[in-house]
Amino acid sequence: MNEQSDNNQSSRESIEDTVDKEDEESFHDLWERIKDTQLSKLDETVELLEDEKILLDDNRMEDVYTWKIVLIGEGAVGKTTLRRSFFGENFTGEYLQTIGADFATKEDTIGSKNKVKFVIWDLAGQPRFKNIRKVFYTGAQGAIFVCDLTNQDSFNNITQWISELWNNNNVGPIPFIVVGNKVDLREEGVLTISDKIINEFTIKTSQETLKRYGFGIKSIITSAKTGYNVNKAFRSLAIQLIAHERHLAKQPKQSERPRVSTKDAVLKIDSPLEK
């Protein structure tokens, strides 16, 4: 698999080629609706912080989680470097030749009683073909969206990436974290995407996802090159994944729930700010 040639593909082209027009709508629509709302009500964000406190302090029995997590984002933003940094030198993964993806597992403990196992999937190229997309996304329970802070375009397509994820994983809306990578280049005076733009996106999105799906969306600035905040990024996603699983556990069983498509689920959401 020639990664370089994939990276050279126009970022917009790489997604638009593959996403059915209809599929593209869901998360994209959600964002279109909330993007101009004011950030005046931050109650939900406060609630999110409370959630984290509960996760870390609770008196539950030991919980064990295994999650398939996919790394998504344009080429050359640092996904593979981030994964290497997280796994360290002793990385031993497996390579799935048919789709050109690596996957590897790592265990961690969140709080005192949550044993988590990350199964991280990383594609050599972009999921341009339908069969690749299916294998890559199916069963994913979480995602790390990576953008390059020195490349504004690498953040602009976030809604298409999340739509693609939510529409192809067979489960619907799942937690993701937004990673602004290559922060080390700020110190060298390179112009970078501001934290404010990313924060605004994640806070607004969290207000919706917390209410509907029981998880928030966090963002974090990393340097895969120096290792800065890399572990924290994965742990932060883990907290949202636990919150989501607990939310699902409180819902009626799948078989008792009316079946709605991802698109319908998203389109039915009312803006919390309109109430």
Contact footprint for ligand G3D (CB under 6 A): 7, 75-81, 181-182, 184-185, 223-225
The per-type count for the chain, helices as H runs and strands as E runs, is: 12, 7
Q: Which is nearer to ligand G3D, 85 or 207 (CB)?
A: 85
Q: Indicate which of Mg ion, ligand G3D, none lies near residue 181 (CB less than 5 to 8 Å, by partner kind).
A: ligand G3D
Contact 87, 104 (CB under 8 A): yes
In sequence order, the 6+-apart residues with CB closer than 8 A to the CB of 43 are none
Among positions 65-124, residues that touch Mg ion (CB under 5 A) are: 79-80
Q: Write down the least CB distance from residue 229 to Mg ion, Å.
A: 19
Q: Determine the residue with CB nearest ligand G3D.
A: 78
Q: Which does 75 bind (CB under 5 to 8 A by kind): Mg ion, ligand G3D, none?
A: ligand G3D
Task: Give how far Cα 177 sits from Cα of 20, 95, 191, 198, Å.
Answer: 24, 24, 23, 11
Size, binding site for Mg ion by CB under 5 A: 2
Which residue has its beta carbon closest to Mg ion?
80
> In what order do the strands lie in the sheet containing 114-123?
94-96, 101-110, 114-123, 63-72, 142-148, 176-181, 218-221
Contact between 182 and 148 under an 8 Å Cβ cutoff? The reply is yes
Whether residue 168 contacts residue 139, with contact meaning beta carbons closer than 8 Å, is answered with: no
Nearest approach in angstroms of CB 56 to Mg ion is 32
- The nearer residue to Mg ion, 121 or 213, going by C-beta atoms, is 121
- Shortest gap between Cβ of 96 and Mg ion (angstroms)? 14
Helix (H) / strand (E) containing 104:
strand 101-110
For the CB of residue 148, give the shortest distance to ligand G3D in the complex, in Å: 7
Q: Rule CB under 5 A: which residues touch Mg ion?
A: 79-80
